[in-house]
A = this chain, B = another copy of it.
């Protein structure tokens, strides 16, 4: 626990002024090579680590990026955060994590703007904000970027929800399914636009295939694997149950598969199931899905934030591709009921 060593100590040991030491350590031009070497050597010897607070104060920046997330224990968020943290680490920026747990934490965050003066930029991961919240956020006075959702006109990365939904539903249609159920999951904390896009894709795909839309086949439940299980139960209770089910996320799809198994039904023999995400357990449980690059979205958001800080131009909207991954949970319906396309 030896006492903190300052720039002054380094300067003294290197026999230069603090100013020169500072210049040498921050690789400024106009520093004699020999001097620079002497200073670095002194710094190394003393295990000197500059105080970012002090240099930030003097320079007017913090060296930190604030990252705001609504969840941490869900796959997408963890993966996105991994991508983001790797990019920030590479750039030598610190990551300040703000988790908006319940409604109260969320209200407090936007009311108290804790990120103010603490970060050079704010990255929002996977959740939308209302106009009032956006206004508050903008008062923090730093750049804003987001991944997985759009925040006003600020730069953002995400997938095309509509395309992802079409990839999933079109796959089921191609297999010959005509009676396709959809499990919509809502999460008050999340981006309201996400379920919308994925649900609209379902309706559009059915319409394009000439399949009549049956509202009974759409079940909405709050986000959670248990929700998926319950929703599947409801679909099975229908007088004419679906031969295939499209869930908005893999975790929910896995819940549905669980219910089917317990009901003694075969997947995909009796019912096909597809999700969206390509959660690590999807590969394991042989779940067909639409893969989305979560870590890449986080990384791209990080790069955009860094670019904005560097004054470089930033794409306002980056869309990353999704990919249909066909595994063993989807197959043609047992008795092919080909529609009159």
* A residues neighboring B (CB under 8 Å): 1-2, 4, 47, 49-54, 56-57, 62, 64, 67, 71-75, 77-79, 81-82, 85-86, 89, 94-99, 101, 105, 112-114, 116-118, 138-139, 141, 224-226, 228-229, 251, 254-255, 258, 262, 280-281, 283-286, 295
8 A-B pairs in the complex with CB atoms less than 8 angstroms apart: A49-B112, A49-B116, A51-B117, A57-B57, A71-B82, A73-B82, A81-B97, A254-B284
A50-B117, A53-B62 known; A85 and B99 CB under 8 Å? yes
A229 touching B284, Cβ below 8 Å: yes
Residues of B within 8 A of A51 (CB): 57, 117
Given contacts A72-B85, A73-B79, A85-B99, contact A4 B284 (CB under 8 A): no
Contact residues in B for A74 (Cβ distance below 8 Å):
78
Chain B residue numbers with a CB within 8 Å of A95 are 96-98
Whether the Cβ atoms of A89 and B73 lie closer than 8 Å is no
A262 and B286 contacting across the interface, CB-CB below 8 Å: yes
In the assembly, how many copies of this chain are there?
Answer: 2
A2 near B226: Cβ-Cβ < 8 Å: no
A265 → chain B, closest Cβ, in Å?
14
A204 to B143, CA, bound (A): 57
Question: In the docked arrangement, what's the CA distance between A147 and B284, Å?
Answer: 29
Point out the residues of chain B lying under 8 angstroms from A138, CB to CB.
1
Residue in B closest to A286 when the chains form the complex, CB atoms: B258
User: Taking the nearest CB of chain B, how far is it from the CB of A309, in angstroms?
Assistant: 14
Q: Would you give the shortest CB distance from A114 to chain B, in whole angstroms? A: 7
Cα separation A57 to B4 with both chains bound (whole Å): 13
